[in-house]
Structure 1
């Protein structure tokens, strides 16, 4: 089951924007049933970028957020701009 990365989500809140700049991390809303390995593979396949680490959480409104830390070779603000997150 491939996760559904929503790149068409609105501009990220300030906290998530700080994660993009400070931690080289992108934030996606994914399918609740998707695991970290599936998220990593989907991001790699969809956007052709290497992923260093994935953290997930399920919000109280039952949406799953994936915090995807990019490999040091990639710059998160540039990637986010290219794929339309910011």
Structure 2
């Protein structure tokens, strides 16, 4: 006894395509996260504290440069925005370095 050939694949794909166009996207029954994640590196966390060593004070007096300890993950633009927001001053440029103890030092030129 000879087996019958299955339906041609064209008919199946047409049915799937028309079904896909007509379907409505399902909405989740409940949100997977209770609250949206917030950025932990906001303006308050990006700058830790100003550095008050003798060399930092000399830079402030001679070169019009403030020295801060900043979070290691922030970049120069974020440091610049934080200084603008906290101290309400214009920033010319920001230089950064990672100290041997792992902290990031930011030189903010006014």
TM-score for both structures, normalised by structure 2: 0.57
TM-superposed CA distance for 1:4, in Å, is 2.5
Q: Number of residue pairs matched?
A: 67
Partner of 2:87: 47
Q: CA distance change for structure 1 residues 5 and 51 in 2, over 3 Å: closer, same or farther?
A: farther
Please point out which of 60, 63, 69 is paired with 1:23. Answer: 63
Counterpart CA distance in 1 for 2:48 and 2:109 is 15
The 4+ residue runs of structure 1 with deviation greater than 6 A are none
Counterpart CA distance in 1 for 2:85 and 2:47 is 12
TM-superposed CA distance for 1:13, in Å, is 1.8
Classify the secondary structure of the residue corresponding to 2:48.
coil
5+ residue gaps, structure 2, are 1-40
Classify the secondary structure of the residue corresponding to 1:15.
helix
Partner of 2:101: 61
| Higher relative strand content | 1
TM-score for both structures, normalised by structure 1: 0.72
Counterpart CA distance in 2 for 1:27 and 1:42 is 13
Q: Which has the larger radius of gyration?
A: 2
Say what the alpha-carbon RMSD is for the aligned residues: 1.3
Counterpart CA distance in 1 for 2:99 and 2:62 is 23
Please point out which of 24, 47, 50 is paired with 1:4. Answer: 47
Give the structure, 1 or 2, with the largest relative contact order (CA under 8 Å, sep 6 or more): 1
